[in-house]
A = this chain, B = another copy of it.
Amino acid sequence: MHEFALIQKYFTDFPGDDSLVEGIGDDAAVMRPPKDHFLVQSSDTLVSGVHFPDDAPAGDIAYKALMVNLSDIAAMGAKPLWFTLALTLPEVNEAWLRSFSEVLRDLSIQKGVVLVGGDTTSGSELALTITITGAVKEGEQVMRSGARLGDEVFVTGNIGDGALGLALWQERIKSVVDAEPCLERFYRPVARTELGLSLGPLVSAMIDCSDGLFADLGHILERSACGAEIMLSSIPVSESLQSIASDDQSRTAMLNGGDDYELIFCAPASAKDEILSLANIHDCPVTQIGEITEASGLRVINDDGHELNVFESGYRHFG
């Protein structure tokens, strides 16, 4: 099947919106940017065998690819608007394409983000790059650099399930109990789109948890030129993680894991009530795990009050 026919068949019945002046089918899409807003833009690539198993279902691949991009937009306190899809296929498998495009379309509709264009190419390795563009009111973008002394540190949801899902996929960990929730979290992470957008005006710094809590909070601290102290026992973990992983594995998943796509953010204490109220409205758990300190570096405090020795290593060292 020729590229034009493939795009026509699977990617032209995605809905537009008022901001889309001209969609797929010309040299470029044409969009009307919202007034008095900045644009935010990010790209994420997923490669078969690297970011997902070679036999991952097409729908899971579509879901994850769009969600990890949405997560970056959420971490800016921005609203997603448009995305492009660059898809490299080793073969034209129509069942695969149907499933892939259906999930992508459903999720894009659910998240209110419009497919505006892209490219399909042949290649020996299945890979896809999504480039997403969002909008945030001028000057209200949430950067990693805004954390200040006295801020509290929060996370959404549970931390560590994504890394455990990855380890289960890679068979570095075997589970004797139901591992589905962690695998689901790895294959179908959930971007905190609505909460991220509403948190924008309240928080001082934000990042999404893709490389692990220790590394990602570390990015905030480095950019903000401050430190933080977090309590190990405060980090929210799922029942699945607790029942599948040993204490050591669990700690590694929580601190050095990744692929959670939860938000990590800092905010002044005065904003806490409103933050927890928003968490309630958006039905998304938010937990305070520590606070920003003047002393640089990230210290993790154990149950016994001592500092834990943690290496900033990201998911590669998990297992």
Chain A residues near B (Cβ < 8 Å): 21-22, 25-33, 37-47, 49-51, 71-73, 75-76, 78, 82, 84-86, 88, 116-119, 121-125, 127, 129, 131-134, 136, 138, 141, 143-145, 206-208, 223
Contact = CB atoms under 8 A, between A and B. Distances in A.
B124 A30 contact: no
A130 to B, nearest CB: 9
A71 B32 CA distance: 21
Given A84-B131, A122-B50, A31 B39 contact: yes
Contacts of A22: 141, 143
A43 B124 contact: no
A32 B137 CA distance: 10
A41 B133 contact: yes
Contact of A127 (B73, B75, B88): B88
Nearest to A263: B27
Nearest to A136: B30
Contacts of A125: 123-125, 127
Contact of A86 (B25, B86, B144): B86
A143 B42 contact: no
A40 B45 contact: no
Given A27-B76, A133-B133, A47 B141 contact: no
A41 B21 contact: no
Given A22-B141, A123-B50, A117 B42 contact: yes
B21 A30 contact: no
Contacts of A122: 47, 50
A86 B30 contact: no
A317 to B, nearest CB: 12
23 contacts: A22-B143, A25-B144, A26-B76, A26-B144, A27-B42, A27-B72, A27-B144, A27-B206, A28-B73, A28-B75, A28-B134, A29-B40, A29-B42, A31-B38, A32-B38, A39-B39, A41-B82, A41-B117, A43-B85, A50-B123, A88-B127, A125-B125, A131-B131
B119 A43 contact: yes
Residue of A28, A38, A141 most packed against chain B (CB within 10 A): A28
A76 B38 contact: no
Contacts of A29: 40-42
